Copies of this chain bind each other. A is one copy, B any other.
Amino acid sequence: MRVGLIGLGTVGAALARQLVGNTTFLQQRAGGNLLTLAAVSARSQKPRPGLDLTSVPFVADPLAIARDPQIDLVVELVGGHDGIAKQVVEAALHAGKSVVTANKALLAYHGSELLALASKQGKILAFEAAVAGAIPVIKVLHEGLAANQLHRVVGILNGTCNYLLTQMQAGAGSFDHVLAAAQQAGYAESDPSTDIDGHDSAHKLAILSALAFGHPITLSAVAISGIRAVTAQDITYAAELGYHIKLLAIAERGDDGLVRQRVQPCLLPRQHPLAGVDNVTNAVQLKANLAGQILLEGPGAGGDATASAVLADLVDIAVGRCQPISVASTHPSAVVADNPLEKLVGRCYWRLQVVDQPGVLAAVAGVLARHQISIESLLQRAGHPDTQTFPNGNVPVVLITHRALEPALVAAADELAKLPQLHQPPLRLRIEDGLA
C-alpha cells in the first residue's frame, strides 16, 4: 500500500518516522501488507529531527499526491476545515483513494458529505486520530459498541483547556498566567482561541455524537462555551463544594428522542471518573443500553499518540478491516436538537462581581426570585467582613441556585448583567450532578 502523506507537522513527522523506520513491524501488523511512504508534501522541506526522508519523493503540490495514480492512500495531516485539507481529501476520494485524516475541523464542517463521497466511491475515509488522540474512541463507538443504543457521550476532549484548568486547580496562578506558561510549554497555541473558546471540543463532539446516535454531523447545533471566564477563584470555590471544573463535551439523547450537544465548563462532582482526568489527558465516558458505562482515557494529543491512531486506520485499511462509516444523512436514526440548551434543567454556580455596598444582595436575589430561581446557598457575599475586595470596590458574590430551566437562567443572567451594581456580566456554570 503506497501512502502519500500531506503535512509534516508534529503528527506527520511522527507518522513518517514509523513508516520509514518501523517497516517490518508494521508489515507484520498489517497482515503482511507493506505500508510504504511513497510521497510527502509539506509547507517546508526543512529537516525534521530523527527523520530521514531522502528516499521519499517530496512533492510541492499536495493535490498532485492526491491525484497520483501511483499512490493508493492519502493521509491528510494539514488541518483546517477548508482550503488545502478539504481539496486534498476530496481530490483523493474522487481519484478512488482511501483517506486517513486527523482533521476534526474538516469532519465537523464537512464530514457528512465527505463520508458520503467516500461511500459512493467505495473507499474509506478513516479518522480515528481526529478525536481524543491515541484513544481508539471511534473504533470503540462504531465497532466495539455496535450492538448498543447510546444514551450519552461525555468527554474531556481538549487537552489545552484541561491543562489550564488543572494548573489553576493546582494553584499555579491566574488564567492569564497559566495560559502564558502553557504557551511556553507547547500545550497551548500562540492564538489559543480555537481551544479555549471550546471550538475544538465542539468539532470532536459533533463527530462523536453523529457516530453514537446516527445523525448527520451537525456542528451548528452544538452549544459552545469556552473557559476564558473561569478564574482560579472559581476553581477554589468549586473545590470547597466538592467539585472540579472541567470543560465537558456532552451529547445526550433525551426522552423526547432529540440529541442535545453542548460544550461547557461545568462543575463535576469530585468522585466522578472524569473529575480526576488531569492536564493534557483526554477521556470519554460512554453510556450505552447493554454495555453500561464505559470509560476510555489516554493522551489526547502529541505526535506519537496521534500517529498511533493514524497507523491503526492504515493497518485496518490494509488488512481490509475497515468498512465505510456512514453517518446517515438520508435515514438518520436520531434527530438533533437545534437549541440543545432550552430544555435543560439543573443547578448552577454563579459568580457576580459587584460593588460592595448595601442592597446588592437584595437586588440580585430579587432578579432570581422574579425568574422563579431559588438560591440554595451563598458562598461568598458582598458586605461580609471576610469578603475579598478587588480594586474599585469590586467584590465577588458566589451562589448556588436550585434546579431551574435554562431559559429562566439565561433570562435571569441577562437581567443581572444590567444591574448597575455589577462590574461585568455574571459567570454561570452548570453543576453536572447527573452524569454518574
Contacts and interface: CB of A to CB of B under 8 A. Distances in A.
Nearest to A328: B28
A355 interface: no
Interface string A197-213: 00000000000000000
A31 B323 contact: yes
Contact of A302 (B288, B292, B305): B292
Interface stretch (A102-110, A152-160, A308-316, A390-398): A308-316
A185 interface: no
A148 to B, nearest CB: 6
Interface residues of A, number: 53
A307 B292 CA distance: 11
A290 B308 contact: yes
Given A320-B323, A323-B31, A294 B144 contact: no
A143 interface: yes
A147 B316 CA distance: 10
A173 interface: no
Nearest to A318: B146
What copy number does this chain have within its complex? 2
Interface stretch (A133-141, A225-233, A238-246, A345-353): A133-141
B134 A290 contact: yes
A187 to B, nearest CB: 15
Contacts of A292: 134, 298-299, 302, 304-305
Contact of A315 (B25, B26, B29, B146): B146
A293 interface: yes
A365 interface: no
Given A139-B140, A293-B298, A312 B145 contact: yes
Given A140-B140, A295-B297, A299-B292, A18 B304 contact: no
Contacts of A311: 146-147, 290
Contact of A147 (B273, B308, B322): B308
Given A18-B147, A25-B149, A146-B311, A305 B276 contact: no
Contacts of A14: 290
Given A136-B140, A140-B140, A296 B295 contact: yes
A145 B144 CA distance: 14
Contact of A294 (B28, B146, B293, B298): B298
12 contacts: A134-B292, A136-B139, A143-B316, A143-B321, A147-B312, A147-B315, A273-B297, A290-B307, A291-B298, A292-B302, A294-B296, A295-B295
- Report, nearest first, the 7 A-B pairs whose CB atoms are least far apart: A136-B144, A147-B311, A134-B291, A290-B308, A294-B298, A295-B297, A291-B308
Given A290-B305, A290-B311, 9 more contacts: A18-B290, A25-B149, A26-B147, A136-B144, A139-B144, A140-B144, A143-B316, A294-B298, A320-B323
